[in-house]
């Protein structure tokens, strides 16, 4: 055995095992060098592709949801860019101090967030908070590695509660939940695209590889609403609600020639930009969902049914003496004894006795058929969520009292939109039109799909002239009159029904009207539910809303006055008084 001596002269020997260890170390070194050369030269392309695949991701390309506009292009619902913060749980949980900073910045509960991320540790994508202002979201993402952003779009409603019942709103995933957003969701919704990208270790896109699917933004929707008129109607309804301490209120304004809805407002309302305030009772579009007995507002249609069948004409007279009569042991009463009235007088004085007498002159089937033709008991055709068809029982189940009270609007129920549509028949020379919340194309206006005559044109003309007297000095709707214009309309004051009868001293105030009489262009109907102070009659409560909104609408739409002599006479009288 060979050896060497150390500095002390002691012999140091290398045995065979020392050479074996040295050999092993040398072999491992050579193997590592060989493996490195193999990977760098032979497997270079394979490893490069594998590395790319571990960084390549297929990501979604967001797209805009379609904009909802009023008839003149004013935006009612738009999409604005926002960023959502997300993390990879396995990655972020390795850096809890950074996670705590991120959670604090986002205003989240740290313990709850950690628990949630641990529960989803097998996932690669978990939202921390969605739809944040982009600048703020960028600040959050900069706190730590492993915090990423995803671009989304948030729905914003510029007009807020003024048009919320019509437009509705979307959920956080941009899916329509109410109103036009829901009805036309397929039309409005965007189709996100997909693209293949390479991301760096921070998740940022460093290279676009290919576009798999092109993003398609949703299509815009042009509604029939005129926001100028919508604002005016909303403001007027809010004011009357407060003044009369009412429970709720609704109003509908229609284009008499096309059936387009120019304004539809409800109180109380809600702001669709504040999700927490979307209470179910506030979200309801009462103008389309809530029904009530229309009372005296139906009397013109009772007369129309009889006039169309030749039973009465403008000169016919009805004796209402002594101001009441009995039907099946129940009284039908007027406010006082009006004596003998012509048909215009029945409307002008709003005589229940006169309307009941006319209803009784008709067979039950005839009255029922006419009411059905005018649109009572059927959907007004808006196709809105939860839109009501009202209620009109079949004539075969009517009792004598039902037949009599039907003539002055008790025993059936309507929405305020249905009532407006029925008055549209009178305004449109006896033609019934379907209503629309979408701006009509010129060809659609000329050929409304369900336009048909359900009332003789001569009858409609006669009713217009009679209803004009209701708004005159001796009628019940003097406060609906508008200087310079001939206005036709009818009031209604209805006791609210409850199980087993009617509530005492609880009313609904109604008015429906048409303007101008010489060439009807607009129809409006108003209902105020439970006015509790400063009056409760339709002429006191609902008619002033009609006056304010309609007078502004006539001016804004540049509809020429048709009663200039009266306007001139009034002006002369004022000058003389001065």
Please tell me whether residues 305 and 217 are part of one structural domain: no
Pairing mode, if any, of strands 248-255 and 522-529? antiparallel
Please tell me whether residues 197 and 332 are part of one structural domain: no
Residue 312: inside a domain, yes or no? yes
Residue 51: inside a domain, yes or no? no
pTM attached to this predicted model: 0.82
Choose the final residue of a domain: 222, 244, 265: 222
pLDDT at 57 over 90: no
Q: Averaged over 426-435, what is the pLDDT?
A: 94
Cβ within 8 Å of residue 97, ≥6 positions away: none
Domain count, the chain: 3
Query: Would you state the pLDDT for residue 576?
Result: 47
| pLDDT tens profile 360-418 | 999 999 999 999 999 999 998 888 888 999 999 999 999 999 999 999 999 999 999 99
Task: Name the average pLDDT for the chain.
Answer: 86
Write out the E strands in 160-247.
193-199, 205-213, 221-222
pLDDT at 452 over 90: no
Query: Would you state the pLDDT for residue 38?
Result: 67
Residue 535: inside a domain, yes or no? yes
Would you say 412 and 294 are in contact if contact means Cβ atoms under 8 Å apart? yes
Query: Would you state the pLDDT for residue 507?
Result: 94
Using DSSP's 3-state secondary structure scheme, residue 377 falls into coil
pLDDT at 153 over 70: yes
Please tell me whether residues 136 and 150 are part of one structural domain: yes
pLDDT at 191 over 80: yes
Pairing mode, if any, of strands 412-413 and 501-515? unpaired
Query: Would you state the pLDDT for residue 1?
Result: 45
Residue 52: inside a domain, yes or no? no
Q: Which string of DSSP letters, residue by residue, matches 419-437?
A: HHHHHHHHHTTTEE---BS
Higher-confidence position of 347 and 58: 347
pLDDT at 198 over 70: no
Measured in residues, the chain has a length of: 578
Please tell me whether residues 123 and 156 are part of one structural domain: yes
Q: Please state which of the ranges 8-12, 19-23, 291-295, 561-565 shows the lowest mean pLDDT.
A: 8-12
pLDDT at 578 over 50: no
Please tell me whether residues 111 and 174 are part of one structural domain: yes
Mapping DSSP onto H, E and C, the string for 72-136 reads CCCEEEEEEEEEEEEECHHHHCCCHHHHHHHHHHHCCCHHHHHHHHHHCCCCCCEEEEEEECHHH
How far, in Å, CA of 178 to CA of 284, rounded? 9
Q: Please state which of the ranges 55-59, 67-71, 391-395, 516-520 shows the lowest mean pLDDT.
A: 55-59
Please tell me whether residues 209 and 233 are part of one structural domain: no
Q: What percent of the chain has pLDDT over 90?
A: 58
* Residue 386 backbone zone (phi > 0: left; psi -120 to 50: alpha; other: beta): left
Please tell me whether residues 208 and 75 are part of one structural domain: yes
pLDDT at 219 over 50: yes
Q: Which residue is associated with the tokens 């009178």?
A: 426
| pLDDT tens profile 113-132 | 888 888 888 887 888 888 88
Catalytic residue list contains 383:
no
Residue 384: inside a domain, yes or no? yes
Query: Using the 8-state DSSP alphabet, how is residue 260 labeled?
Result: B
pLDDT at 46 over 70: no
| pLDDT tens profile 89-103 | 878 888 888 888 888
How far, in Å, CA of 177 to CA of 170, rounded? 5
pLDDT band at 309 (very low <50, low <70, confident <90, very high): very high
The kind and range of the H/E element at 550 are: helix 543-556
Token pair for 309: 């069948």
Token pair for 79: 């999409």
Cα–Cα distances in Å, from 430 out to 120, 257, 303, 455, 536? Answer: 65, 12, 14, 4, 31
Which domain CATH number covers 80? 3.90.1310.10
**What distance lies between CA 452 and its chain's CA centroid?**
29
Q: Which of 217, 296, 356, 379 is catalytic?
A: 296
pLDDT at 577 over 50: no
Residue 53: inside a domain, yes or no? no
Question: What sign does the CA torsion over 17, 18, 23, 28 have?
Answer: positive
The parent domain of residue 28 ranges over 3-42
Higher-confidence position of 7 and 517: 517
Would you say 348 and 474 are in contact if contact means Cβ atoms under 8 Å apart? yes
Query: Would you state the pLDDT for residue 571?
Result: 52
Please tell me whether residues 143 and 268 are part of one structural domain: no
| pLDDT tens profile 265-301 | 999 999 998 866 666 778 889 999 999 999 999 999 9
Please tell me whether residues 199 and 300 are part of one structural domain: no
């Amino acid at each position: 055995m060979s050896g060497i001596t150390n500095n002390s002269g002691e012999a140091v020997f290398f045995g065979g095992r020392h050479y074996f260890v040295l050999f092993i170390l040398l072999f491992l070194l050579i193997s590592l060098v060989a493996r490195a050369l193999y990977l760098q030269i032979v497997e270079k392309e394979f490893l490069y592709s594998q590395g790319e695949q571990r960084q390549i991701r297929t990501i979604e390309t967001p797209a805009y949801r379609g904009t909802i506009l009023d008839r003149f292009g004013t935006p009612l619902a738009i999409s604005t860019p926002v960023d959502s913060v997300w993390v990879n749980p396995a990655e972020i949980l390795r850096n809890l101090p950074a996670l705590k900073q991120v959670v604090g910045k986002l205003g989240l509960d740290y313990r709850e967030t950690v628990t949630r991320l641990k529960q989803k540790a097998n996932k690669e994508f978990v939202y921390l908070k969605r739809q944040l202002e982009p600048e703020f979201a960028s600040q959050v993402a900069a706190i730590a590695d492993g915090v990423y952003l995803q671009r989304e779009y948030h729905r914003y409603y510029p007009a807020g509660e003024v048009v919320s019942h019509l437009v509705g709103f979307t959920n956080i995933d941009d899916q329509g939940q109410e109103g036009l957003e829901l009805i036309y969701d397929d039309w409005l919704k965007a189709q996100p695209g997909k693209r293949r990208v390479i991301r760096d270790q921070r998740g940022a896109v460093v290279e676009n590889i290919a576009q798999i699917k092109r993003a398609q933004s949703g299509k815009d929707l042009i509604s029939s609403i005129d926001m100028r008129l919508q604002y005016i109607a909303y403001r007027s309804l809010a004011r009357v609600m407060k003044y009369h301490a009412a429970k709720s209120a609704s109003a509908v304004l229609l284009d008499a020639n096309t059936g387009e809805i120019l304004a539809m407002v409800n109180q109380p309302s809600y702001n669709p930009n504040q999700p927490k305030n979307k209470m179910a009772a506030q979200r309801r579009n009462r103008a389309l969902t809530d029904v009530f007995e229309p009372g005296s507002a139906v009397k013109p249609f009772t007369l129309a049914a009889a006039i169309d069948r030749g039973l009465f004409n403008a000169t016919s007279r009805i004796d209402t003496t002594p101001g009441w009569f009995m039907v099946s042991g129940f009284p039908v009463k007027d406010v006082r004894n009006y004596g003998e009235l012509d048909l215009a007088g029945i409307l002008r004085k709003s005589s229940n006795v006169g309307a009941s007498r006319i209803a009784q002159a008709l067979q039950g089937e005839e009255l029922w058929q006419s009411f059905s033709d005018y649109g009572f008991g059927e959907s007004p055709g808006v196709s809105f969520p939860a839109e009501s068809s009202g209620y009109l029982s079949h004539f075969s189940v009517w009792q004598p009292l039902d037949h009599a009270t039907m003539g002055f609007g008790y025993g059936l129920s309507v929405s305020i939109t249905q009532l407006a549509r029925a008055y549209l028949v009178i305004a449109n020379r006896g033609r019934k039109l379907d209503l629309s919340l979408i701006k009509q194309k010129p060809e659609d206006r000329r050929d409304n799909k369900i336009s048909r005559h359900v009332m003789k044109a001569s009858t409609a003309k006669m009713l217009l002239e009679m209803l004009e007297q209701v708004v005159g000095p001796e009628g019940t709707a003097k406060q609906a009159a508008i200087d310079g214009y001939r206005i036709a309309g009818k009031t209604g004051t209805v006791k609210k029904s409850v199980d087993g009868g009617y509530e005492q001293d609880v009313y609904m105030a109604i008015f429906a009207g048409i303007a101008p009489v010489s060439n009807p262009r607009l129809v409006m109907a108003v209902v105020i539910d439970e006015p509790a102070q400063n009056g409760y009659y339709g002429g006191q409560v609902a008619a002033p809303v009609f006056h304010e909104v309609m007078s502004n609408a006539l001016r804004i739409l540049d509809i020429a006055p048709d009663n200039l002599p009266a306007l001139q006479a009034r002006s002369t009288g004022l000058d003389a008084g001065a």
